[in-house]
Structure formats: structure tokens, C-alpha cells
Amino acid sequence: MSPFLSGCLDTLHEGGVGLDSATALCSKLAALKASPLESLEEEPSHFASFDKPEDWMNLSVALCCMLMAATASGLTMGVVSLDELELRVKERNVNESKTERGYATRILPLIRLSPRHQLLVSLLLLNAIANEAMPLFLDKLVPPWAAILISVTAVLFVGEIIPAAVFTGPAKMRIAALLSPLAWFIVMLSSPISYPLGWALDRLLPHAEGLPTRHEVKALVDVQREMAAEHSASAGEAFHEDEADLVRGALSLSQKLVVDVMVPLEDVFALPADAAMDLATMKQVIALGHSRVPVYWGPAKSSITRFIHVKDQIMLTPADATPVASLRFHDPQWVGPEDSLFALLNTFQEGAPRELLSPFQPLPGRPVPFL
């Protein structure tokens, strides 16, 4: 019996307290008196000597927590940040290497996982658990101040900076594809928590499909040319100016109308019906390079109703001065000023005439348009 307990019993007994009551009371006082001292003695104040298996086990678990935190952080930045559109383009790009296309094929199911936020929640959950558990095991190996210092340093450098540099670097797709099975395992393991949270986040923050518009695609063509010039890309990688014009024109075709491409009547080259196909006229037609030439009757070009094909006139003799009115004519196709150019393209593909006329009343003071 300790001196404190013995003295306590004697004092209470002399005061008339029963033996059982005195023993219980003194035991509680002794426990309260000893508990702060015992906790102070148990608090580690030195570094572990690693002479016990428990020390090595705590160190191994702390390192595993550090590795899990780094992996979860890296996957969060390297996989979740990948653009689905970019991956789908790489997957279908026949000029891309087979390896890169394989990487995109392996990553896409992760990006398109439903709920969309489940992958993010799973990785953040693992990262939080690993970061919170690591100090608990370090605290058994080093003093509290050292455990805090090591944990903060490890989280900053090993858990954030290094994974960010590695998982977002040039090999990010390769690393993400190689670790995709691990990501699936994390998702399945945390699904009881991550699935409902991901579902709720999908309802609160719906995922917006990043479908590029026509204007964005046209802007992308210009950006590609600018970046190719800045990085001195080879001629095969950059768009030529003619290619860029074709792409921009094709993307604008469905939004343009006949009125947008009309030529002012004053700028149209046309032949009067009473003219003759002499040497001067034929030279003029050849110099302009038109395959079709409109013909008008009367003094004004606004009476254009028919065309001649230049190729039909190759057998003419300039000395004969054949009248234009006696040549073979072709009737045009009449279109409205608000007809779509895309619809006209489909009409041309069906074999319709290539000559178009549009009856269009000009605004006061403006020339009569012609197509």
C-alpha cells in the first residue's frame, strides 16, 4: 500500500469514517493524483530507437499513408482535370500513335463515370484519410513537435508539389493510364460513401458537356496557326492559309444565306444579246476566266435571264463575229435571297444547274445584287 493511501485511510478512520467508505474514497483520490503523472510519463519525448517491431510497423504505415496521399492527390490533378473532348479526339485520331490512343481508351471510362463526381469524391476521401492518419503513427515515433513538422512537410512536398509536377507533366496520360486500375479500385472501395456523395453533387452541380461551338472551332484554327508560328512547327503540322479559309468557310456555310454572298450587279460581267463574239469579245471572256457568262437583253444588265457556257464556244471563229443571241443558252436556277447556302450545296450535288439568279429588290441607293 502506498504511503498516500495509508495516510488517507488513517486520517479518515480517525475522523469516524467507515473502513469500506474510506477505502473507496482514498482509492479514487489516489487514481486522480496518479493519472496526470502517468499520462505525462507516457507522452513520448524522444525519437524511437526502432528496437521493437512496433516502431518499424508504425514507420511502414506512416510511409504508406504518405504514398497514398501523394497518389490520391496526383490522380485528382492528373485524371479529373483531363478533358473528355481531348481524350475522344486522341482516341479517334488515326495519325496518333497506337500507344497514345490506347491511353485515351483506358482513361475515358474513368472520366465518364456516373455519377461524374464519384471519382473526385473517392480520391479526395482517400487523400483526407491518409493525411489525417499519418500524424497518428508518426506521433508514436517522434516527439509531437517533430510529428507536426514532418506531417506538414510531407503533405506540402510529397503530397502536393511533387504529384502536381509529375501527374500534370508531359507523361500525364501515360501515368494516368497505368494507374487507372488503382483508380478503379479506390472508387469501388469507397463506393458506399463516394457514390451517394457523387450523386448528390451531380444534382447540385450538374456536369456541363464541353461541346465546342462553330465559332470556337473556327477560332481554334486561327489559334493553331498562331501557335505553330510561335513554335516554328513544320509545314505539315500547321494549317495553310487556304486550308484555314476552307475550314472557316465550311463551318459558316449553314449560317450564311444567299443574300450574304450576292455580287453587286454593277460588278457582274455580262454580255448584251446584240453583241458579237469577235476577237475582242473572246479575248475579254478568256482574260476574265469565267466558265459561265450571263447574257442580258436591252440596255440594262438587270434583264439577265440566261447564261452561256464558255466551253461551248471553243469552236467559234472570231472572224465570223457570231451574234451572242444565236448562241446556245442555259437557263439558271432561281433562288430566294434568304435561302441557305448549305441547302444550295446539296442541290448542286443532286445535279442542279450551277447558274443562280435571285430576284431581290435593293434598298434605295444600293446596287442591284446578283448571284
* Domain harbouring 333, CATH code: 3.10.580.10
Give Cα 235 to chain centroid, integer Å: 26
Q: Are 268 and 247 contained in the same domain?
A: no
Give Cα 45 to chain centroid, integer Å: 52
Q: Using the Cα atoms of residue 138, residue 143, residue 144 and residue 150 in order, give the sign of their dihedral.
A: negative
Domain around 305 = 258-370
pTM of the model: 0.61
Burial zone of 335 (CB within 10 Å; 0-12 exposed, 13-18 middle, 19+ buried): buried
Closest CA to 138 of 126, 127, 150: 150
Residues written for the chain: 371
Domain-embedded: residue 305? yes
Question: How many CB atoms are closer than 10 A to CB 100?
Answer: 15
Q: Are 358 and 290 contained in the same domain?
A: yes
Q: Are 244 and 270 contained in the same domain?
A: no
Residue 131 is which amino acid?
N
- Which pLDDT value is given to residue 307? 86
DSSP 191-247: HHHHHHHHHHHHHHSPPPP-PPPHHHHHHHHHHHHHHHHHTT--TTTSPPHHHHHHH
- Which pLDDT value is given to residue 368? 44
Cα 49 to Cα 299: distance, rounded to the nearest angstrom: 111
Q: Across the 371 residues of the chain, what is the mean pLDDT of every consecutive 10-residue run?
A: 66 62 63 52 61 88 92 90 86 84 92 90 94 87 84 85 89 91 94 94 82 82 82 68 84 81 82 90 89 85 83 87 89 78 79 58 44 50
Q: Are 292 and 274 contained in the same domain?
A: yes
Domain-embedded: residue 150? yes
| Phi, then psi, of 269 in degrees rounded to 5 | -85, 120
- Which pLDDT value is given to residue 119? 94
Domain-embedded: residue 209? no
- CA distances (Å), 109 to each of 180, 184, 190, 194, in order? 10, 10, 18, 17
Q: Are 148 and 185 contained in the same domain?
A: yes
User: How many domains does one find in the chain?
Assistant: 4
In 294-321, which positions are buried (b, 16+ CB within 10 angstroms) versus exposed (e)? bbbeeeebeebebbbbbeebeeeeeeee
- Which pLDDT value is given to residue 366? 41
281 neighbors 321 (Cβ within 8 angstroms): no
Alpha helices per DSSP H over the chain: 3-14, 19-42, 53-78, 84-92, 98-111, 118-138, 144-153, 162-167, 172-178, 180-189, 191-204, 214-230, 241-252, 279-288, 341-349
Cell numbers representing residue 80 in the block: 479529373
- Which pLDDT value is given to residue 365? 43
- Which pLDDT value is given to residue 70? 92
